[in-house]
Amino acid sequence: MHRNQLNFSGGPGALPDSVLQQVQQAVVELPETGLSVLGMSHRSSWFVDLLAQTEADLRALLQVPDDYSVAFLQGGSSLQFSMIPMNFSVPGAAAAEYVTTGYWSRKVLEEASRVGPMRVIWDGAASGYRALPSLDALDWDTRASFRHYVSNETVEGLQFPAVTDLPGSPLIADMSSDFMSKPFDVRAYGMVYAHAQKNLGPAGVTVTLIRNALLERTPDTLPPMLDYRTHIKHRSNYNTPPVFAIYVMAKVLHWIRDEIGGLDAMRDINSRKSAALYATLDGLREVVDCHAEKAARSMMNIAFRFKDARLDTLFKEKSTEAGLSGLGGHRSLGGMRASLYNAVSEQAVKRLTTFINEFAVRYA
């Protein structure tokens, strides 16, 4: 499959070539139905089976315990920001606690603060959002409704290490930009959610994993569409789901399982990719700065800039010409950002590191 550009975009991000080939066929005709995937009824047995199988595949890859429910929703992670306190705030409990580590965890507050009592337990503003706290060292209130953090800050390129056990109120993680990039222990969380458009599929579907006990908190006064129980009860098929996005996600899960070999192998590949890029950037530390402190570095997103800001502009121009797309930093931070999501291959990263070294020799 030929394509002119390699995709290092912060998201929606690259998808595997083998998935795109299957999708291309399905757009005209799904062999098993004789219809375009874009015109498949969400009540067809084909789609009902696809939903069930996709949930089963996700559960198997992540070893999701039986007492967790899975739902595929619309509205992106951004709609989760308000649905979470709508569903899980406990009247009379202490305020929900939020860890604020960058652009996205601050966006969470804008939505959540309209719904229920909350407090920021840690804020990285003083460091310019370059560092992360140790979650088990924070002064959590055990009476809080829940605790929330963002596992990977896409804009700043900061990533928390795996959480295995953090006693206290239910822990909720926005894993939008590192979900399915490595294994993690679902049991450590009350809820995990992630939109698909980094590691899992196209924009338009969001995965939620919820410990069933939490659902007992949901008030009966919510509109059914904003009540997690509705979507879980109807197996993600209450109103018309984004059929196409779920179909692509199903194919990406198969790719992780069958072509990559599962989440341990996925993590190993992702680890090698980011290590190679960080090594390149560290080798150029006299002319390049990485945004994140070393201990907080993300495997998924690497934000960097030249000490000479004029080189940032030139880098974006020359990298695009060289077929390396999406390397401009987020508009809130400037500089550059390389996103190394699951479907960015090791060969693609090799092309990027080679380009960076050649660029530095020539211009820096």
Binding site for a copy of itself (CB under 8 A): 1-5, 7, 9-15, 20-21, 23-24, 27-29, 33-36, 38-44, 74-79, 81-82, 110-112, 114-115, 195, 197, 201-204, 221-226, 238-245, 248, 323, 325-326, 331, 343
Q: What are the backbone dihedrals phi and psi of residue 153, each rounded to the nearest 5 degrees, phi first?
A: -85, 105
Catalytic residue among 46, 104, 122, 255: 104
Query: Is-catalytic flag, 198?
Result: yes
Q: Is 104 a catalytic residue?
A: yes
Report yes or no: 292 and 157 within 8 Å, Cβ to Cβ: yes
Considering the candidates 122, 140, 174, 178, report the single residue annotated as catalytic: 174
Provide the token pair at 312: 């940032």
For 213-269, what is the HEC assignment? HHHHHCCCCCCHHHCHHHHHHCCCCCCCCCHHHHHHHHHHHHHHHHHHCCHHHHHHH
If the CB atoms of residues 204 and 296 are measured against a copy of itself, the closer one turns out to be: 204
Any binding-site annotation on 240? yes
From the list 181, 229, 364, the residue with the least C-alpha distance to 287 is: 364
Q: Is 43 annotated as a binding residue?
A: yes
174 among annotated binding-site residues: yes
d(CA 28, CA 338): 34
Nearest of 300, 301, 331, 326 to residue 315 by alpha carbon: 326
Nearer to a copy of itself, 41 or 63 (CB): 41
Question: Is 318 an active-site residue?
Answer: no
**Residue with Cβ nearer a copy of itself (211 or 231):** 231
In contact, 337 and 303? CB cutoff 8 Å: yes
Of 17 and 293, nearer to a copy of itself (C-beta) is: 17
Which of 325, 353, 313 has the alpha carbon at shortest distance from 4?
Answer: 325
Distance separating alpha carbons of residues 216 and 194, to the nearest angstrom: 22
Of 46, 140, 198, 255, which one is the catalytic site residue? 198
Catalytic residues, by residue number, are 104, 174, 198
Output the known binding site: 43, 104, 154, 174, 197, 239-240
Binding residues for pyridoxal 5'-phosphate: 104, 154, 174, 197, 239-240
